[in-house]
């Protein structure tokens, strides 16, 4: 008898739709939506629990240089900005050094091009590879 029961098609139970008079409250949360929301909540709660446990077991004598090189604004860690550590004179000096480096590189590349072009002076002229024999030599 159980094999006959398995052969018959079973009724698919569908989730009900949102009633018309409750549409003003937004969409009706289905079971699959609840499962996703519950898993996200549990994952967040587990992360918070792990962080609390880590904070409880931390070493109070622990020290990192990043602790003094960063600051907190509204509870958010912000690293110290390295770009603003130079004075105006230092920035001007660095800019002139950069310009000097670029000019030096351009000059060395120009010398390299001149050297290579001097080697290639006979490329345009066809080479005379024909040997001329004179009657006296034979």
Average pLDDT over every residue of 84-113:
90
Cα 23 to Cα 37, 74, 138, distances in angstroms? 21, 40, 116
Is the pLDDT at 67 greater than 60? The verdict is yes
The tens digit of pLDDT for each residue in 112-135 reads 999 888 887 666 666 666 777 677
Residue 1's pLDDT is 61
Is the pLDDT at 28 greater than 90? The verdict is no
Tokens of 36: 């996703």
| Percentage of the residues of the chain whose pLDDT score is greater than 70 | 86
Helices (H) and strands (E) counted in the chain, each on its own, are 4, 2
């Amino acid at each position: 008898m159980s094999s006959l029961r398995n052969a018959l098609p079973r009724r698919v139970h569908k989730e009900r739709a949102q009633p018309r008079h409750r549409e003003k409250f937004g969409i009706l949360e289905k079971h699959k939506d609840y499962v996703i929301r519950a898993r996200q909540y549990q994952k967040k709660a587990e992360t918070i629990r792990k962080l609390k446990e880590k904070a409880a077991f931390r070493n109070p004598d622990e020290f990192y240089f990043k602790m003094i090189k960063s600051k907190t604004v509204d509870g958010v860690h912000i690293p110290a900005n390295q770009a603003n550590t130079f004075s105006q004179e230092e920035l001007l000096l660095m800019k002139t050094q950069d310009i000097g480096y670029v000019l030096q590189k351009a000059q060395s590349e120009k010398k390299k091009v001149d050297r290579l072009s001097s080697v290639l002076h006979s490329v345009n002229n066809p080479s005379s590879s024909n040997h001329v024999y004179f009657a006296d030599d034979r």
